[in-house]
Amino acid sequence: MYNSKITGLGYYVPDNIVTNDDLSKFMDTNDAWIQERTGIKERRWIKAGSDDTTSVMGAKAARIAIEKAGLTSDDIDFIVFATLSPDNYFPGGGVELQEILGMKTIGALDVRNQCSGFVYALSVADQFIKTGMYKNILVVGSEWHSSGLDLSTRGRGVSVIFGDGAGAAVLSRTEDNTKGILSTHLHSEGKHAKELIVESPGSKRWVTDLIKEDNKDDESYYPHMNGTFVFKHAVVRFSEAIMEGLQANNLQVSDINLLVPHQANLRIAQFIQRKFKLEDDQVYNNIQKYGNTTAASVIIALSEAFEKGKIKDNDLVVLAAFGSGFTWGSVIIRW
């Protein structure tokens, strides 16, 4: 029986910093509201004219992860690419990444699970490695949110939260069953799909409708979120997913060295921290700098935490995410 472990991590965020004060120039919002309700101070948005896109940012993060793993792109057997904001309606970001990195004709799979996207993607990669099918898998989370936000006051409840960026991990085969990904746990509850959704474009309103309509005021093209409803579900599901993962491995909350939660709202992470009585250095947050980068958030946070020396050999690292779908899940890792 093989096990899988993370052998390389990388992340990339665009240079362009957008502060809360910048946002208040084009919508009715303010720094105090955004910081108090979300913890966010600034986020990165791709600047007009930049060459960055979802797949380009993913490729930049991936190059770093592959190099840190001591590999080249020729050593990668498979790509799992998580995003809700692919460059095109189809094909997905995975094949674009394969081309940008000049990789062999390996398989490329896209995961459409929004904020839980990276947790789902890592789980998929973990299964392919544990069955022995692949040896090294590139797992990427990347989002270009800023091109699709409603930047008027109408959209302020959503648009101030989201940021652009990408992260990547190389997951590799190991025969040491005491280390690596111990387990992954995935869930969904589709009855709440409409509480956090971008409805268009979709097959219900196919391209012919789009070109016929004057849709610049059509809200269905912008993210809709019932924030309070999502918040209430998030705190419950985060807790459940973490406990489920610990219990599956006969571990306790006190065994956690580092929890890396999806960066949806600092208040959600702080609620979980208080509930589980974790110290500040046991929970990694960077939403203050990057906002919510959806499928990229967990992997950017994990990469940054590792880069800052916050993860040591043998540490118990827990990843957890919740978001649109609703979907949620956790990953338990012995580093």
By CB under 6 A, the residues from 200 to 259 that bind ligand UT7 are 227-228, 230-231, 234
Residue 119 interacts with ligand UT7 (CB under 6 A)? Answer: no
- The verdict on whether 115 is a catalytic residue reads yes
The question of whether 224 is a catalytic residue gets the answer no
Q: Least distance in Å: CB of 263 to ligand UT7?
A: 8
User: Smallest gap, in angstroms, from Cβ of residue 293 to ligand UT7?
Assistant: 9
Nearer to ligand UT7, 107 or 155 (CB): 155
Q: How far is the CB of 25 from ligand UT7 (least distance, A)?
A: 13
Confirm or reject binding of residue 323 to ligand UT7 (CB under 6 A).
Answer: yes
Q: Does 46 bind ligand UT7 (CB under 6 A)?
A: no
Q: Is 122 left (phi over 0), alpha (psi -120 to 50) or beta?
A: alpha
Task: Identify the active-site residue in 262, 265, 285, 286.
Answer: 262
Count of residues that interact with ligand UT7, criterion CB under 6 A: 19
The reply on whether position 137 binds ligand UT7 by CB under 6 A is no
Piece in contact with ligand UT7 (CB under 6 A), picked from 152-160, 252-260, 275-283, 298-306? 152-160
Which residues contact residue 183 at a Cβ distance below 8 angstroms, ignoring those fewer than 6 apart?
245, 248, 249, 331, 332
State which residue, 156 or 185, has the beta carbon closest to ligand UT7.
156
Distance CA 303, CA 305 (A): 6
CA distance 66 to 171: 10
Q: Which stretch binds ligand UT7 (CB under 6 A): 64-72, 210-218, 237-245, 264-272?
A: 264-272
Instruction: Report the SS3 class of residue 326.
Output: coil
265 binds ligand UT7 (CB under 6 A): yes
Pick between residue 7 and residue 29 the one whose CB is nearest to ligand UT7. 29
Is residue 277 helix, strand or coil?
coil
CA 115 to chain centroid? 5
CB-based contact 113:82 (threshold 8 Å): yes
Could you tell me the end-to-end alpha-carbon distance of the chain, in angstroms, rounded to an integer? 18
Supply the minimum distance, in Å, between the C-beta of residue 273 and ligand UT7. Answer: 15
Burial 157-168 (b: 16+ CB within 10 A, else e): bbbbbbbbbbbb
Q: Does residue 113 bind ligand UT7 (CB under 6 A)? A: no
Q: What does the block give as tokens for 198?
A: 């971008």
130 binds ligand UT7 (CB under 6 A): no
Q: Is 55 in the site for ligand UT7 (CB under 6 A)?
A: no
Q: What backbone torsions phi and psi does residue 181 show, to the nearest 5 degrees?
A: -75, 115
Pick 171 or 264: Cβ nearer ligand UT7 = 264
292 scored as a contact of ligand UT7 (CB under 6 A): yes
Report the Cα 75 to chain-centroid distance in Å.
Answer: 24
Specify whether the CB–CB gap between 299 and 62 falls below 8 A: no
For the chain, helix, strand, coil in percent to 5 are 40, 25, 35
Residue 313 phi, psi (nearest 5): -55, 135
Regarding 107 and contact with ligand UT7 (CB under 6 A), the answer is: no
Tell whether residue 37 is a contact of ligand UT7 (CB under 6 A): yes
* Known active-site residue 262: yes
Residues in contact with ligand UT7 by the rule CB under 6 A:
29, 33-34, 37-38, 115, 156-157, 160, 227-228, 230-231, 234, 264-265, 268, 292, 323
Catalytic residue set: 115, 262, 292
